[in-house]
Structure 1
Amino acid sequence: MSFEQMWADLASVGRSRSSGGYFRPAFGSAERECHAWFLDQCATRGLETRTDGNGNTVAWWRPEGTGDQPGVLTGSHLDSVPDGGAYDGPLGVMSALAAIDRLRERGVAPSRPIGVAAFAEEEGSRFGLACLGSRLATGQLDPATARELRDRDGVPLPDAMAAAGLAPDLGDTSLLDGVGWFVELHVEQGRGLVDLAAPIGVASGIWPHGRYRFDFTGEANHAGTTVMDDRHDPMLSCAMTVLAANKQARLGGQRATFGRFEVTPNSTNAVPSRVTAWLDARCEDDATLAALVAEVSRLGRERAARDGTGLEVTAESVSPAVAFDPDLAARLAGDHAGPDWPVLATQAGHDAGILAGAGIPTAMLFVRNPTGISHAPAEHAEVADCLAGVDALADSLERLAG
Structure 2
Amino acid sequence: MTESFEQLWADLAAIGKDPSTGGYHRGGWTPSERAATAWFLDQCAQRGLVVESDGIGNLVAWWEPGEVARSAGSTRSLPASAQAAGVSSAQGARLPGVVTGSHLDSVIDGGAFDGPLGVVSALSAVDRLRAEGFVPSVPIGVGAFVEEEGSRFGMPCLGSRIATGVLTPEKALALQDRTGVSLADALKDSGADLDRVGPSPLLSRMGTFVELHVEQGRALTAPVGVASSIWPHGRFRFTFTGEANHAGTTLMEDRHDPMLTYAMTALAANKQARLAGARATFGRLAVEPNGTNAVPSQVTAWLDARAASAEVLESLLAAITRQAAERAERDGTAVEMVPESVSPVVDFQPGLRDRLSAVLDGAPVLPTGAGHDAGVFSDAGIPTAMLFVRNPTGISHSPAEHAEMDDCLAGVEALATVLKELAR
Distance between the aligned counterparts of 1:64 and 1:342, measured in 2? 34
Give 1:148-159 correspondences, 5 Å limit. 148-159=174-185
Q: Of 95, 99, 119, which residue of structure 2 is paired with 1:73?
A: 99
Residue in 2 that maps onto 1:348: 370
Q: Of 155, 163, 166, which residue of structure 2 is paired with 1:129?
A: 155
CA shift, 1:138, in A, is 1.5
RMSD: 1.3
Distance between the aligned counterparts of 1:359 and 1:291, measured in 2? 28
Residue in 2 that maps onto 1:230: 254
Large movers: runs of 4+ above 6 Å: none
1:2-56 CA distances to partner (integer Å, 9 max, x unpaired)?
1100111122211111110111010000000000000000011111111222121
Question: In structure 1, what residue type is equivalent to 2:17?
Answer: R
Residue in 1 that maps onto 2:136: 110
Residue in 2 that maps onto 1:192: 219
1:71-126 CA distances to partner (integer Å, 9 max, x unpaired)?
00000000000000000000000000000011111111111000011000000111
Distance between the aligned counterparts of 1:147 and 1:387, measured in 2? 39
Q: Of 208, 223, 242, which residue of structure 1 is paired with 2:232?
A: 208
CA shift, 1:164, in A, is 2.2
CA shift, 1:65, in A, is 7.5
Distance between the aligned counterparts of 2:370 and 2:19, measured in 1? 27
Instruction: Find out whether 1:63 has 2:65 as its counterpart.
Output: yes
Which SS does the other structure have where 1:104 is aligned? Answer: helix
Residue in 2 that maps onto 1:334: 358
Give 1:262-301 correspondences, 5 Å limit. 262-301=286-325
Question: In structure 2, what residue type is equivalent to 1:216?
Answer: F
Distance between the aligned counterparts of 1:167 and 1:348, measured in 2? 32
Q: Is the 8 A contact 1:241 1:299 kept in 2?
A: yes
Question: In structure 1, what residue type is equivalent to 2:23?
Answer: G
Mean Cα displacement is larger for which, 375-384 or 67-76?
Answer: 67-76
Residue in 2 that maps onto 1:84: 110
Q: Using structure 2 for the length normalisation, give the TM-score.
A: 0.92
CA shift, 1:290, in A, is 1.3
Q: Is the 8 A contact 1:233 1:272 kept in 2?
A: yes
Which SS does the other structure have where 1:2 is aligned? Answer: helix
Q: Of 378, 381, 384, which residue of structure 2 is paired with 1:362?
A: 384
Q: Is the 8 A contact 1:65 1:111 kept in 2?
A: no
Instruction: Find out whether 1:239 has 2:263 as its counterpart.
Output: yes
Residue in 2 that maps onto 1:310: 334
CA shift, 1:165, in A, is 2.7
Question: In structure 2, what residue type is equivalent to 1:101?
Answer: D
Question: In structure 2, what residue type is equivalent to 1:166?
Answer: A
Q: Is the 8 A contact 1:205 1:346 kept in 2?
A: yes
Distance between the aligned counterparts of 2:51 and 2:174, measured in 1? 29
Q: Of 394, 404, 415, which residue of structure 2 is paired with 1:393?
A: 415
Q: Of 124, 128, 131, which residue of structure 2 is paired with 1:98?
A: 124
Q: Of 396, 400, 413, which residue of structure 2 is paired with 1:378?
A: 400
Q: Of 51, 54, 69, which residue of structure 1 is paired with 2:53?
A: 51
Question: In structure 1, what residue type is equivalent to 2:125?
Answer: A
Distance between the aligned counterparts of 1:141 and 1:401, measured in 2? 31
Q: Is the 8 A contact 2:353 2:385 kept in 1?
A: yes
Question: In structure 1, what residue type is equivalent to 2:64?
Answer: R
Instruction: Find out whether 1:179 has 2:181 as its counterpart.
Output: no
Question: In structure 1, what residue type is equivalent to 2:165?
Answer: G
Residue in 1 that maps onto 2:37: 35
Residue in 2 that maps onto 1:25: 27
Which SS does the other structure have where 1:314 is aligned? Answer: strand
Mean Cα displacement is larger for which, 384-393 or 49-58?
Answer: 49-58
CA shift, 1:254, in A, is 0.3
Q: Which runs of 5+ in 2 are unaligned?
A: 69-92
Distance between the aligned counterparts of 1:7 and 1:137, measured in 2? 28
Q: Of 261, 269, 284, which residue of structure 1 is paired with 2:285?
A: 261
Q: Is the 8 A contact 2:65 2:136 kept in 1?
A: yes
Which SS does the other structure have where 1:344 is aligned? Answer: strand
For the structure 1 residues 353 and 73, does the alpha-carbon distance in structure 2 shift closer, same or farther, using more than 3 Å as the test? same
Which SS does the other structure have where 1:352 is aligned? Answer: helix
Which SS does the other structure have where 1:202 is aligned? Answer: strand
Percent identical residues? 64
Q: Using structure 1 for the length normalisation, give the TM-score.
A: 0.97
Aligned residues: 397
